Amino acid sequence: MNSSNRFLVAVVGAGPAGLFGARELANLGARVVVFNRDIKPGGLAEYGVYPSKHTMKEGFRKQFRQTLALPGVDYYGNVVIGSHGDLTLDDLRKLGFDAVLVSAGAQGTKWLGLPGEELEGVYHAKDVVYFYNQLPPFTQKHFRFGRRCVIVGAGNVMVDVAHFLVRERKVEEVIAVVRRGPLEVNFTVKEMEAVIANLDLEQLDAEIARVAPSMRDVGQDPQAGKARILAALPKAVPATSNTRLRFEFLTSPVQMHGSGGMLTQLEVEDNVLALKDGDTKARGTGNRRRLDVETVIFAIGDKVDEAFGLPVEASEFVKNPQPRFPIEGLSYEAFDPKVGKPIQGVFVGGWSRKASEGLVGYARKDGINAAKAVWEYLQTLHPRNAHPEAVFARLKDLGKPVVTKTDIQKLEAVEAAEAMKRGLEEFRFGTNEEMLQAMKLLQAV
C-alpha cells in the first residue's frame, strides 16, 4: 500500500495556515483535500494584504501554487464547510476523512454592542478590507465613505484602512480613535509610512499635550509617545491627497447617532491610563463628547465564525486545555467544554486557532504545527485506504460549481491576459459569476 493513501485529511480553508498545513500533511504522507469558501486560494494573503503590495502577494501565490501542484493535495473552491455550509463536519466524517484541520481564519465580526451599530456608515474593517480587495460578495455591497471617517483601533488593519481612505477615497478627514495612548499603538512603522505624509503634525502636538498628564501619571514620557507615532516620517510616502489624518488618543466609542438611518455623530468617552498587573489599561472618565462623522469603521480585530459548528469562547474556538498532541506547548485540538472532551479528529490552526494573531509568516508556522498535531493523532489510528474520489462524487451533488486546482490555473491565465490587455499590474474579476464564466464553470456540475 502506498503510504500516501493511508490517511485522508480535510483542510477547511485555503489561507496561509491551511495551505502550508496541507503541504506539511502531504509531505508527511497523508492524502489531503482542501475545501475553500472563496473561489481563489490565499485567504487574507490574497484578500487582506493591501492591494498595491503586488510583489508580496505574488510571492505568496507562488508558494500556494507549489502546494496545490502536489499530487497528494486536491483543491475544491467555492465550497463552504460548517453547520450552514455545503457540507458539515459530520458530512466530512461520513465521507471517510480521518481528521479535519479547520483553518478557516476568523470570519466572525467582533462588534462592541454599542447603540447605533446598525446605522448606515458603521462598518467592520474586515468587510471594508474585503471590499477594496475585491472579494465577492463584498464587491457588490454599498459602503458610505463620507467626508469625515473614524477608524477605531491602532493596529495595522487601522493603518491599511486609513491607507485606502487617504489614497483611494481621498476623504476630507480620517480620525483614528485609540482607547489607550501613543505608546500602546500596535501598528508597525513600515505600514505607517503609507499614510504619515497626511498626518496633521500640529494637531498631533496638541493631542500629545492633551494626553500628557495621564501618560505621566503612569510613568510615561509624552515625547517618547510622539516619537513612536512619528517614527515613519523619514520614509514617508509622498501624499497624493489633501486628506487630514489625525489621532484621538485615550478615547473610546460609546454610541453612534444618526438621522434617517444615516450615521451623523460618534459619541466617545475620554479615558485615562491606569496600571494593572504590569499592563497599561484604559479607564473611562465618564466625560463624553461627540465627533461629527459620516463613517465609523471598527478595526478592533476579528473573531471566529460562531456558526461554524465548533464551540466558541470569547473570540476563539475552544481548544483542549490538556492537549494530547501539543506542539511547542500549544493546543491545536478542538474541544467541547459541555462534555469536557476533545472533538475527535478535529484540529484548528492559524487565525482559527488564535483570531487576528500575526502575519502570514505566523499563520504559515501555525498551520504547519497544526498539521504536525494532526499527523501525531493519525498515528494513533489504524491505517486504511483513503478514497478521495468519493469526495468529488459528493461535491457533484451540491448543485453548484466547484472549482478545482486546474480551474484556478485557467482563471489565473485569463486574469493575467486581461491585465496585460488593460495595461494593469494586476486584474481580478469582482464577482463569482465572472470568475466562473472565465473558467467555463457556470453550466458545469
Ligand X SMILES: NC(=O)c1ccc[n+]([C@@H]2O[C@H](COP(=O)([O-])OP(=O)(O)OC[C@H]3O[C@@H](n4cnc5c(N)ncnc54)[C@H](OP(=O)(O)O)[C@@H]3O)[C@@H](O)[C@H]2O)c1
Ligand Y SMILES: Cc1cc2nc3c(=O)[nH]c(=O)nc-3n(C[C@H](O)[C@H](O)[C@H](O)COP(=O)(O)OP(=O)(O)OC[C@H]3O[C@@H](n4cnc5c(N)ncnc54)[C@H](O)[C@@H]3O)c2cc1C
Are 21 and 363 a contacting pair, CB within 8 Å? no
What single letter denotes the amino acid at residue 57?
K
300 binds, among ligand Y, ligand X, none (CB under 5 to 8 A by kind): ligand X
Shortest spacing between CB 41 and ligand Y, in angstroms: 6
Q: How far is the CB of 54 from ligand Y (least distance, A)?
A: 12
Nearest residue (CB) to ligand X, 25 versus 178: 178
Q: 299 or 402: whose CB is closer to ligand X? A: 299
Q: Which is nearer to ligand X, 31 or 124 (CB)?
A: 124
**Residue 35, contacted partner among ligand Y, ligand X, none, CB below 5-8 A by kind:** ligand Y
The partner in contact with residue 27, picked from ligand X, ligand Y, none with C-beta cut-offs of 5 to 8 angstroms by kind, is none
- Which cell goes with 274? 491606569
> Is 153 near ligand Y (CB under 6 A)?
no
User: Does 157 contact ligand Y by CB under 6 A?
Assistant: yes
Q: How far is the CB of 173 from ligand X (least distance, A)?
A: 20
Q: Which does 350 bind (CB under 5 to 8 A by kind): ligand Y, ligand X, none?
A: ligand Y
Any idea what the Cα angle at residue 169 is, between residues 165 and 174, rounded to 5°?
35
CA atoms within 13 A on the CB side of 258: 16
Shortest gap between Cβ of 105 and ligand Y (angstroms)?
A: 2
Residue 235 DSSP symbol: G
CB closer to ligand Y out of 128 and 183: 128
Q: Is 80 in the site for ligand Y (CB under 6 A)?
A: yes
State which residue, 299 or 368, has the beta carbon closest to ligand X: 299
Q: Is 363 in the site for ligand Y (CB under 6 A)?
A: yes
CA distances for 406 relative to 35, 40, 42, 418, angstroms: 15, 12, 16, 19
Q: Amino acid letter at 116?
A: G
Rounded to a whole number of angstroms, the minimum distance from the CB of residue 119 to ligand Y is 23
Helical segments of 29-75, H only:
44-47, 54-68
Position 208 contacts ligand Y (CB under 6 A): no
Distance (Å, whole) CA 44 – CA 105: 8
Instruction: Rank residues 343 and 363 by Cβ distance to ligand X and give the closer one.
Output: 363
Minimal distance, residue 140 CB to ligand Y, in Å: 17
Half-sphere exposure of 100 (CA within 13 A, CB side): 25
Answer for which of 82, 121, 146, 222 binds ligand Y (CB under 6 A) is 82
Please tell me whether residue 162 adopts helix, strand or coil conformation: helix
Is 45 near ligand Y (CB under 6 A)? yes
Which of 36, 78, 214, 271 forms a contact with ligand Y (CB under 6 A)?
Answer: 36
Q: Are 352 and 105 spatial neighbours (Cβ–Cβ below 8 Å)?
A: yes
Cβ atoms 166, 191 nearer than 8 A: no
By the rule CB under 6 A, 13 interacts with ligand Y: yes
Interacting positions 83-112 with ligand Y (CB under 6 A): 85, 103-105, 107
The residue among 199, 202, 254 whose CA lies nearest residue 229 is: 199
Give 64-72's long-range contacts (Cβ < 8 A, gap of 24+): 64/14, 64/19, 66/23, 67/19, 67/20, 67/22, 67/23, 67/26, 68/19, 68/34, 68/41, 68/405, 68/408, 69/405, 70/22, 70/23, 70/26, 72/4, 72/26, 72/30, 72/31, 72/32
Site residues (vs ligand X, CB under 6 A): 112, 152-158, 160, 179-180, 184, 186, 191, 252, 299-301, 356, 358-359
Task: Report the residue count for the chain.
Answer: 445
List contacts with ligand Y (CB under 6 A): 12-18, 35-38, 43-45, 48-49, 53, 80-82, 85, 103-105, 107, 129, 157, 160, 308, 350-351, 358-360, 362-363
